[in-house]
Amino acid sequence: MESYALLLAATLNAGTVLALASLGLLINEKVGIVNLGAEGMMLCAAIAGFATVVTTGSDTLGFMAGMAAGAGLAAIFGVLVIWLNTNQYATGLALTLFGTGFSAFVGTSFVQARIPERASFAIPGLADIPLVGPALFRHHPLVYVTVLLALALVWFMYRTRSGLIMRSVGESPESAHALGYPVRRIRLAAVVAGGALCGLAGAYISIIYTPLWVEGMVAGKGWIALALTTFATWRPARVLLGAYLFGGVTMLQFHLQGIGVDVPSQFLSMLPYLATILVLAIISRNPQWIRINMPASIGKPFYPGG
Amino acid sequence: MLKLEARPEPSKVWTYASPLLALTITVLIGTLMFAALGKDPVKGLQMFFWLPIQSGYAWGELLVKATPLLIIALGLAVCFRSNVWNIGAEGQYIIGAIFAAGVALLAEPGTGAWIVVPILLAGVLGGMLWAGVTALLRDRFHANEILVSLMLVYVAVQLLSYLVGGPWKDPMGFNFPQSKTFDAVTRIPRLFTGSRVSIGVFFALLGVVGLWVFLFRTRAGFSLQVGGLAPAAARYAGFSSRKALWTALLISGGAAGLAGALEVAGPIGQLTTSVPAGYGFAAIIVAYVGRLHPVGMVLSALLMSMFYIGGELAQSRLGLTKSLTGVFQGLLLFSLLACDTLVNYRLVMRKSRSK
């Protein structure tokens, strides 16, 4: 039983990374922008966050550095795709290729660095409940913030006027433009906000999840986060659930190894990627359903009067 | 304020000038980066743009790296022209290398040189198979090919790691994750003594001609591109988008697999975890910078090969890291995409009106 509690705890931890990044990408896609640069932004944010914690000793500054790195890169991407009308897929790929190289380049001097052991987190009282405590109440505060964030996003997108405007930009930028909304600025704001969240996810990886720096340590989580928005049919609450599900699959490999399942570790390491493929295939099976839920202008450039 | 205004027709001049401008911007940013690191920018740029072309041997090395890049990029150009986003060429390359290695490991001292043919064919087959998974999932289940092909890269990496760490591990290899060195007879024939350039160069050049003919002189190539540019028009003309999907993915997968086979049985000579060198991703940049045109990609493959060699030189001579290669590659693609705006738009001075 104890080990299942720990598995659940690890699942929430891994799911938080995916949820943060995927919520960020959801914000992007809701205004019609697909950012394939997620992996690159997360890597740059991971090294930015880690380097900041190593030099200043402050986790908060580390998270802020990660968010700044993500937001900064997203802003460059945004200007390119929104004002210069570059192809979103190609530009996102360029961002990932650049980010992968740049993070490895900047990170060389931090490969050996370690950050000090931090006090474990616990919610007083609740953390001491047997089984439930270790599973649910001994996490980094960001794990709980992520849940609140998803709920806040639901409220923002479906209960506020700004959220309605944001969604309208994604559904029909032409109509939003005709109504006088600054479509391109709204898109840029969403792209930057999404980048900041991807950055936060990246920083969480290198500061809390596996507190060290290794080249390419995001290991495809940015891509899985991209798949999650489709999986969730662009709904924030479903993104959160999907993220925990995939976090669970990621952790399952360690659990299976732990209980001595006789399968080569490499096959267990394939699980998250295979699961992503499988889920994508199942979810996309009905193109009608995807089309109804998908923001209509996704991937398409918008040029006022052009 | 500067504004963009759509051109009535794409600018011919900028089609050619934009890659050059992008390269200039990349070099400028590179100079700033070297300066910021406290390294002599002139020395740094020498590693990337002069040393790789200063001698006959250096040119050979340039071709060795340009060959797989070009072969993969040729295949990707078919995909991108038909609007199929195969970004998992790296995985198809790995599986091609694995299949080729499987055949190469069967060779014995008595085996004839004909073994090279099945090695290459196995590579092509492996790459096609891996790309075929993406095609199948896209065709049958509408699964996004970007994500599927990319996820398959990670799967391929794990599969490679399993093989060289398990069933194919060299018993005499001091427990390193690598297969035994292939028998000498499996080596892809080289062109000259004293250089590592192999017959792979011919495959690449053959590919250039083949792609040119396919794209510009065949009905299949034409219908594929119409499907990419105007799906509705292609449907109306009765061109099958499913056929285009399969053709594009199988061609690019086969090309990537061939590149993998040429590498593993060529310069590397054994299957190791260091087979994936990022060629599959760099080839995406090669394809774009070369404008998806067979001849353009020859030039961009050479350029990207310079970046690879420059990165290695910067590591061994300046004590910088090899990952500089990736930085330059990414920068180049970024600046190219930005500069390409000038092909379809012109900059004009105008008062700001629309937001």
Confidence of residue A129 (pLDDT cuts 50, 70, 90): confident
Mean pLDDT, residues B230-235 taken together? 85
Answer yes or no: do A104 and B323 touch at CB < 8 A. Answer: yes
- The hierarchical CATH code for the domain B55-305 is 1.10.3470.10
pLDDT at residue B185, rounded to an integer? 86
Confidence of residue B9 (pLDDT cuts 50, 70, 90): confident
C-alpha of B53 from chain center: 21
Residue A227: closest C-alpha in chain B: B147
Mean pLDDT, residues B66-73 taken together? 97
Residues 6+ apart with CB under 8 A from A177: A183, A302, A304
CA distance B151 to chain A (A): 5
Mean pLDDT, residues A120-135 taken together? 80
B156-194 confidence digits (pLDDT tens): 999 999 999 988 988 888 888 899 899 888 888 888 877
Question: Residue B2 is inside which H or E element, if any?
Answer: strand B2-6
Query: Looking at per-residue confidence, does B237 or A43 come out higher?
Result: A43
pTM for this model (two decimals) = 0.92
Return the structure tokens found at B351: 């008062």
CA distance A119 to chain B (A): 34
CA distance A306 to chain B (A): 7
Residues in chain B: 355
Q: Is the model's pLDDT at A173 over the cut of 70?
A: yes
Average pLDDT, chain B: 90
pLDDT at residue A228, rounded to an integer? 93
Query: Domain segments of chain B: what residues?
Result: 1-39+320-355, 55-305
**Rg, chain B, Cα only:** 22
- Site from B133, B147, B339 to mutate, A interface, most A CB atoms within 10 angstroms: B147
Residue A177: closest C-alpha in chain B: B355
Answer yes or no: do B85 and A104 touch at CB < 8 A. Answer: no
Answer yes or no: do A277 and B345 touch at CB < 8 A. Answer: no
In chain A, % of residues over pLDDT 70: 98
Q: Is the model's pLDDT at B50 over the cut of 70?
A: yes
CA distance A128 to chain B (A): 39
Mean pLDDT, residues A72-79 taken together? 96
A210-244 confidence digits (pLDDT tens): 899 999 999 999 999 999 998 899 999 999 999 99
Residues 6+ apart with CB under 8 A from B18: B336, B339, B340, B342, B343
Q: Is the model's pLDDT at A306 over the cut of 60?
A: no
A149-167 confidence digits (pLDDT tens): 999 999 999 999 999 999 9
Q: Is the model's pLDDT at B107 over the cut of 90?
A: no
**Count of beta carbons in the 10 Å neighbourhood of residue A79:** 15
Answer yes or no: do B321 and A90 touch at CB < 8 A. Answer: no
Confidence of residue A290 (pLDDT cuts 50, 70, 90): confident
Answer yes or no: do A101 and B162 touch at CB < 8 A. Answer: no
Mean pLDDT, residues B129-147 taken together? 95
The C-alpha atoms of residue A191 and residue A32 are separated, in whole angstroms, by 10
Q: Is the model's pLDDT at B321 over the cut of 90?
A: no
Return the structure tokens found at B71: 């072969």
Residues 6+ apart with CB under 8 A from B327: A98, A101, A102, A105, B33
Answer yes or no: do A105 and B150 touch at CB < 8 A. Answer: no
Q: How far from A4 is each of A10, A133, A134, A208, B231, CA to CA, in Å?
A: 10, 12, 10, 21, 50
One DSSP character per residue, B261-304 reads: HHHIIIII-S-BTT---SHHHHHHHHHHHTTT-HHHHHHHHHHH
- Site from A266, A282, A294 to mutate, B interface, most B CB atoms within 10 angstroms: A266
Confidence of residue A91 (pLDDT cuts 50, 70, 90): very high
Residue A97: closest C-alpha in chain B: B330
The C-alpha atoms of residue A233 and residue A255 are separated, in whole angstroms, by 29
In chain B, % of residues over pLDDT 70: 98
- Closest by Cβ to A284, choosing from B142, B331, B354: B142
One DSSP character per residue, A212-275 reads: S--TTTTTTHHHHHHHHHHHTTT-HHHHHHHHHHHHHHHHHHHHHHHTT--S-HHHHHHHHHHH
Answer yes or no: do B158 and A269 touch at CB < 8 A. Answer: yes
Mean pLDDT, residues A132-137 taken together? 80
- Closest by Cβ to A287, choosing from B142, B325, B344: B142
pLDDT at residue A254, rounded to an integer? 80
Q: Which of A263-267, B228-232, B298-302 has the lowest mean pLDDT?
A: B228-232
Q: How far from A46 is each of A103, A222, A297, CA to CA, in Å?
A: 8, 12, 31
pLDDT at residue B171, rounded to an integer? 86
Please return the burial class of B173, using the count of CB atoms within 10 Å of its CB with bins 0-12, 13-18 and 19+: middle
- Site from B7, B150, B274, B346 to mutate, A interface, most A CB atoms within 10 angstroms: B150
Topology classification of domain A2-114+131-293: ABC transporter involved in vitamin B12 uptake, BtuC (1.10.3470)
The C-alpha atoms of residue B216 and residue B213 are separated, in whole angstroms, by 5
The C-alpha atoms of residue B120 and residue B190 are separated, in whole angstroms, by 15
Query: Domain segments of chain A: what residues?
Result: 2-114+131-293
Q: Which of B31-45, B54-68, B148-162, B256-270 has the lowest mean pLDDT?
A: B31-45
**Rg, chain A, Cα only:** 19
Q: Is the model's pLDDT at B44 over the cut of 90?
A: no
pLDDT at residue B355, rounded to an integer? 46
C-alpha of B94 from chain center: 13
CA distance B15 to chain A (A): 15
> Which residues on B lie below 8 Å from A95 (Cβ)?
330, 334
The C-alpha atoms of residue A149 and residue A117 are separated, in whole angstroms, by 27
- According to the per-residue pLDDT averaged within each range, which of A121-135, B47-61, B105-119, B121-135 is highest? B121-135
> B71 with B207: CB under 8 angstroms?
yes
Return the structure tokens found at B159: 């599969």
pLDDT at residue A119, rounded to an integer? 66
Q: Is the model's pLDDT at B207 over the cut of 60?
A: yes
Mean pLDDT, residues B288-300 taken together? 93
> A36 with A98: CB under 8 angstroms?
no
B256-277 confidence digits (pLDDT tens): 999 999 999 998 999 999 999 8
> B304 with B329: CB under 8 angstroms?
yes
> Which residues on B lie below 8 Å from A100 (Cβ)?
326, 330
Residue carrying the six token digits 């990165």: B311
CA distance B263 to chain A (A): 22
**Count of beta carbons in the 10 Å neighbourhood of residue A214:** 15
Query: Looking at per-residue confidence, does B90 or B323 come out higher?
Result: B90
pLDDT at residue B352, rounded to an integer? 54
